[in-house]
Amino acid sequence: MGIIGLILTIIIASKPSLAIGLYWTKNKYKAKIDINSSIRILIASTTAAITTFFATNFSTYIDWIKLIIGSTTFAAAYLVVAPIFGAINKNDIDNLKRMFSGLGAISKIINVPLNIIEKVLNLT
């Protein structure tokens, strides 16, 4: 099956270890999977991915320009869509800002998308 077979093998081969790891974590640490949060993140990511697909698939640019367009499109779409679907909330943003606050100039760069997400949250 070529490349498709390789991709399918990698995806399928990782599932048993994932299941065992989740089972072990659940029993040892009494942790639970938050299905609602996972579904919201999946929906936001899928929406951003579909937007990126249409932005790059029908363009005639060379591959490295498509990569830049795709990366920018995905990031912008996810920044807007994630708070709308509830994948990210105000507490998450506050925690991220607090975590990155000690990084100096890097924290200022990271605060730009976090501030955009805050504005989207205030609109919803």
Q: Rounded to 5 degrees, what are φ and ψ at 60?
A: -110, 20
Q: Which domain range does residue 5 map to?
A: 1-33
What are 24's two structure tokens?
């072990």
Q: What is the pLDDT of residue 59?
A: 82
CB 107, CB 101: distance < 8 Å:
yes
Q: What is the pLDDT of residue 99?
A: 92
Secondary structure string (H, E, C) spanning the chain? CHHHHHHHHHHHHHHHHHHHHHHHHHHHHCCCCCHHHHHHHHHHHHHHHHHHHHHHHCCCCCHHHHHHHHHHHHHHHHHHHHHHHCCCCHHHHHHHHHHHHHHCHHHHHHHHHHHHHHHHHHHC
Q: How far apart, in whole angstroms, are the C-alpha atoms of residue 100 and residue 112?
A: 12
Provide the residue-wise pLDDT of the chain in tens; the chain has 124 residues: 899 999 999 999 999 999 999 899 989 998 888 899 999 999 999 999 999 999 999 888 888 999 999 999 999 999 889 999 999 988 989 998 999 988 888 889 989 989 988 888 887 6
> In terms of pTM, does the model score above 0.75?
no
Asked if 49 and 101 sit in the same domain, the reply is yes
Asked if 93 and 64 sit in the same domain, the reply is yes
Asked if 41 and 9 sit in the same domain, the reply is no
Asked if 52 and 105 sit in the same domain, the reply is yes
Asked if 2 and 46 sit in the same domain, the reply is no
Q: What is the pLDDT of residue 124?
A: 64
Asked if 24 and 40 sit in the same domain, the reply is no
Asked if 25 and 39 sit in the same domain, the reply is no
Asked if 7 and 56 sit in the same domain, the reply is no
Asked if 119 and 64 sit in the same domain, the reply is yes
The total number of structural domains that make up the chain: 2
Asked if 84 and 39 sit in the same domain, the reply is yes
Centroid of chain to Cα 11 = 18
Asked if 72 and 16 sit in the same domain, the reply is no
Asked if 8 and 44 sit in the same domain, the reply is no
